[in-house]
Chains A and B, each alone.
Chain A
Amino acid sequence: MQFFGSAEISPSPPVPTTSGNNAHMMYVFNRNGVCLLYREWNRPLRTLNAQQDHKLMFGLLFSLKSLTAKMDPTSAERGNLGVPQLPGQGCSFHSFRTNTYKLSFMESPSGLKLILITHPRTGDLRQSLKYIYNLYVEYVVKNPLYTPGAPIRCELFNTSLDQYVRSIA
């Protein structure tokens, strides 16, 4: 199992494939914080280097998940903030929106995190993220040349992902 901190990071910097794509960026992380995939379609401003960017994104989501679970008014337990949780426990947030972008998030029970950043008027992307999870299973998990825990370098996955994201309204 790989921890973030190895020299290998996902292909960077990726050339934006087509302008006019609906989504801005996509991240895929595994449960250990390794960034398996970073796709960029439309990102005008880049402030951090790639590694810091990935760390920041993962840390943000990790904390957000923990925070949303602890603040859940309907849940009975009262654990302390920062106590590690099992994936699947507690409520799960699925998106947040600012005035310039919307971030949609999905975590599978196996710890795989899918993050899609789109323009702010995007609707609910949970079904889309599920579809992308299925794409991941078909093209990456079933690929015998892919080592679990390593960054994804499957052209077929990238192509079908680009195609699908272009079709998201």
Chain B
Amino acid sequence: MAPVGPRSGDAIFANVERVNAELFTLTYGATVRQLLTDLEEVEEVNKQLDQMGYNMGIRLIDEFLAKSNVSRCVDFKETAEVTAKVTNPELWAAVAKVVTASELSFRPDNASVQVGFKMFLGVTASVTNWDVDGTCCSIILEDNPLVDFVELPDTCQGLYYCNILSGVIRGALEMVSMKTEVTWIRDVLRGDDAYELQVKLVKQLPEEYPYKDDE
């Protein structure tokens, strides 16, 4: 039977269960507020949000892979080789499978973030700023449902409010064998004009035979 191609983010978003956007935003806001009260240190809160995102990411990857009909990386590698504008098609192919919070498109010629962000958050995001090696890129979010109604007070200026997203990306990528570092470049809550995340590949972890002891 003919293999089914990957589904678009819109199609999947239409089929999953959704929650009220305001409920989502307010719940996230309450979580951050509670963390600030409990931990008091802004750096600690950032780290905790990242860790929460990581734990989410390692689970969300499976949902993403299951719902979006990703079969084998090699298909995307071939696609990438044909249409890639980046110098490292392998990374592009691998990153193109990535999960949830930061989705990179299955159609690299569009160079747009589609499936993941669309599928889980319902937002459109784009991938730009590939560096020469192809190991580093930026993801730009046009809108961000997490930050509706939010303003950062002066006491919390160091806070990365959406740090959970960077954790999710990191967790998800790690489950597809890529160790990455994700940092915020631009953040509207801090006065910039958009949300920009930088995803940097540290290394790729090939599969190892796990049984170290003798038979």
Binding site for B on A (CB under 8 A): 3-5, 31-33, 55, 58-59, 62, 83-92, 108-112, 124, 127, 130, 133-134, 136-137, 141-142, 148
Contact = CB atoms under 8 A, between A and B. Distances in A.
Contacts of A32: 210
Contact of B73 (A89, A112, A141): A89
> Which label, helix, strand, loop or mixed, suits the secondary structure of the B interface?
loop
Given A86-B94, A92-B72, A112 B211 contact: no
A136 B62 contact: yes
Contact of A88 (B61, B62, B72): B72
A57 to B, nearest CB: 12
B42 interface: no
Interface in B89-111: 93-94, 97
Given A87-B177, A124-B1, A141-B62, A111 B207 contact: yes
A125 to B, nearest CB: 12
Interface stretch (B63-71, B127-135, B141-149): B63-71
Given A33-B209, A109-B72, A148-B58, 20 more contacts: A32-B210, A58-B211, A59-B209, A59-B211, A84-B207, A84-B208, A85-B206, A86-B177, A87-B73, A87-B176, A88-B73, A88-B93, A92-B72, A109-B65, A109-B70, A111-B177, A130-B66, A133-B65, A137-B67, A141-B59
A55 B213 CA distance: 11
Contacts of B59: 141-142, 148
B65 A89 contact: no
A7 to B, nearest CB: 14
Contacts of B67: 134, 137
A110 B62 CA distance: 7
Closest 8 CB pairs of A and B: A88-B73, A84-B206, A33-B210, A110-B175, A137-B66, A137-B63, A141-B59, A134-B66
